A and B are shown apart, each in its own frame.
Chain A
């Protein structure tokens, strides 16, 4: 477990994740308070990576649930294995008829059968989907519920019990309480608003584009073969570019791509000609590229 905010930053750095104090504070608090975290922010700032790195750092098992429209509790919580149940009834037919043999009336037979019902609705016939798996896991797990905004709002309701009490209720069996409380991380790209009930159960973390210093360190760590001088120039350019009214701002992953590309091309300084040729690494819209090209002289000095 992380021992302080500073320690959190340090430990995550070992996993090659550079995080700001804000991120570290929230992560540290969430672990201390045993609360889920709802992470929001633009695409490509490392929301999902945060979950992966925490899991690696603390030795949690990462259980990932990718959300999409139409995701239901059968895919996320648990599902009865009907086919297996049917198969077993078929196989056990003889056994069943032997048990029911000495029952005089139909009513007695049904009663007898009902008393054996538990066999068919036991954990043997239950398929654990990610959420139930995270609850019943023998070691602590990190449940990463990715892009929760893509799921339907009804789906949020299934999550509430897990998020507040770390338990799942299955009508046929009862309530299953977590052996080891999982650390739950939800990410969202703001495609839609989460319900108040969900937000109230979580700590909230908004990850924005990093500061120059942070982004510089991220590149240094991930693309060390790119020289410090070039990195500085790339970062300066990217931060200038983000100031323009663009349809899609370049995110960290795009900065990384650019740094890798420029290194492969053997650049040592970032000059305008090379920048023009490689702008499509960081900008995804034609008009955005056009705008930046027009203003390139104010962005890049060489």
Chain B
């Protein structure tokens, strides 16, 4: 696969400069995290010749149908398309900027000079804080010329600019006045800066926003961010599900299947011409999730449950329990309702005795007493909580029983590791009996953990 499309890009641009705009759009999509190969871009070019680009809906769908192959990317595409092609509140769209300054630099600079200038602009944009770029374009361009072009590094371009200047000499300019560029030249450089600024901020902001949310400490999320997160988890969960199910399918072929081989080879008089293998049973983990939903870890539990149920079809069986000081099974809620709604109804339920604070010991005891049938040698138990037991009995006997009756038991702890034994946390009491206790702080940690459940062998 070509990672650098420049060769093909140049060839086609030679044919028709306007097409450059579409390449720029593809670049924006790539920066936003959409996977594009050269085939998709060629298809887009081919397709555009068949339709009228003046019809907006048709044009948009043409780009979408050729470029976007994963439906979870459609929202990202829509966002990029909107920013790139549509005008909003008097602001220029990126396309306007492109048409306004459509390759005007090509008439003045050689390609080498252009790329040199662009890298200088990149330097310039990186060396200043974000807030700096709220200033007017004229001002920025002046600063750029002052800082970059007159410095040592700008020497080569600076010199050629000097030469160019004589071609575009503005009336009354005097040769020793090095900084003073002709308005035309100034325009071109300003255009290049604007383009660069837009490119850098657009596609990448979408990606950055996602990365930012996925990496943020869950307990630090603001309410509106949590809303955003839910959408993201759905999208992310779907991607993860697709990936894992693909991986599972690849290891399906199992032992020799006598029955099928005999039956299928009857047509050759019982001579085993063709050998058949049994499909190996896909090893789907059985899961028991125990979530502390007291206020300290409530948000983690929400995301954990949401993710678990997005991936439900990958597990053979999921049973989930919520506790604060009492333990309640919540599996049925998820069976009958959309995960989102199920979650809300858990939190409006009062069976957990709010206000008392978590009691892990009591909850584990209840689990062993009432629900030990959920445990088999194939079950993986996940406990999500900070092990802050409010100085009550840890119920260690029950916890050990849980360990003995299940395949493995993982503890996900939202506290940082050095806080694990701090104050009323009794994490260290449980650690020896866990397969692993792991620190989870953001959504990525949670999803990485779920991912590993499918990789490990028995």
Is A233 interfacial (CB-CB < 8 Å)?
A: no
- Whether A192 and B242, one on each chain, are in contact in the complex, defined by CB atoms closer than 8 angstroms, is yes
Secondary structure dominating the interface of B: helix
**A-binding segment of B64-72, B167-175, B347-355:** B64-72
Is A71 interfacial (CB-CB < 8 Å)?
A: no
B interface footprint on A64-83 (CB within 8 Å = 1, 0 otherwise) = 00000010000000000011
Name B43-71 residues within 8 Å CB distance of A: 43, 46-47, 50-51, 55, 57-58, 61-62, 64-66, 68-71
- Whether B246 and A193, one on each chain, are in contact in the complex, defined by CB atoms closer than 8 angstroms, is yes
- Whether B58 and A25, one on each chain, are in contact in the complex, defined by CB atoms closer than 8 angstroms, is yes
Supposing A29-B62, A192-B242 touch, asked if A200 and B37 sit within 8 A by C-beta, the answer is: yes
Q: How far is the CA of A109 from the CA of B51 in the complex (A)?
A: 64
Q: Report A-chain residues with C-beta under 8 Å of the C-beta of B116.
A: none
Q: How far is the CA of A92 from the CA of B65 in the complex (A)?
A: 56
Q: How far is the CA of A274 from the CA of B238 in the complex (A)?
A: 37
**Interchain CB contact (< 8 A) of A32 among B37, B50, B74, B338:** B50
Is B268 interfacial (CB-CB < 8 Å)?
A: yes
- Whether A203 and B65, one on each chain, are in contact in the complex, defined by CB atoms closer than 8 angstroms, is yes
**Interchain CB contact (< 8 A) of A82 among B37, B64, B243, B267:** B267
Is B245 interfacial (CB-CB < 8 Å)?
A: yes
Contact size range, A: 35 or more
Question: What is the interface size of chain B, counting residues whose CB is below 8 A from a CB of the partner?
Answer: 40
Supposing A83-B267, A200-B69 touch, asked if A192 and B50 sit within 8 A by C-beta, the answer is: no
Nearest B residue to A200 by beta-carbon distance? B39
- Whether B245 and A29, one on each chain, are in contact in the complex, defined by CB atoms closer than 8 angstroms, is no
Supposing A22-B61, A200-B40 touch, asked if A247 and B336 sit within 8 A by C-beta, the answer is: yes
B436 to chain A, nearest CB (A): 29
Q: How far is the CA of A28 from the CA of B49 in the complex (A)?
A: 12
Nearest B residue to A194 by beta-carbon distance? B69
- Whether B57 and A22, one on each chain, are in contact in the complex, defined by CB atoms closer than 8 angstroms, is yes
**Interchain CB contact (< 8 A) of A204 among B65, B252, B279:** B65
Name A166-198 residues within 8 Å CB distance of B: 190-193, 195-196
Supposing A206-B74, A247-B336, A287-B336 touch, asked if A152 and B252 sit within 8 A by C-beta, the answer is: yes
- Whether A40 and B71, one on each chain, are in contact in the complex, defined by CB atoms closer than 8 angstroms, is yes
- Whether B43 and A33, one on each chain, are in contact in the complex, defined by CB atoms closer than 8 angstroms, is yes
Q: Report B-chain residues with C-beta under 8 Å of the C-beta of A202.
A: 69
Q: Report B-chain residues with C-beta under 8 Å of the C-beta of A28.
A: 50-51
Supposing A21-B57, A33-B43 touch, asked if A153 and B250 sit within 8 A by C-beta, the answer is: yes
Q: Report A-chain residues with C-beta under 8 Å of the C-beta of B74.
A: 206
Supposing A35-B43, A203-B43, A204-B71 touch, asked if A152 and B61 sit within 8 A by C-beta, the answer is: no
Q: How far is the CA of A285 from the CA of B341 in the complex (A)?
A: 14
Q: Report A-chain residues with C-beta under 8 Å of the C-beta of B70.
A: 193, 199, 204
Contact sample, A vs B, 17 pairs, CB 8 Å cutoff: A5-B51, A5-B55, A22-B65, A25-B58, A26-B65, A29-B50, A33-B43, A38-B69, A83-B267, A193-B242, A200-B37, A200-B40, A203-B43, A206-B71, A247-B336, A285-B336, A288-B337
- Chain A residues with a Cβ under 8 A of chain B: 5, 21-22, 25-26, 28-29, 32-33, 35, 38, 40-41, 70, 82-83, 86, 152-153, 190-193, 195-196, 199-200, 202-206, 245-247, 285-288, 291
- Chain B residues with a Cβ under 8 A of chain A: 35, 37, 39-40, 43, 46-47, 50-51, 55, 57-58, 61-62, 64-66, 68-71, 74, 238, 242-243, 245-246, 249-250, 252, 267-269, 273, 279, 336-338, 340-341
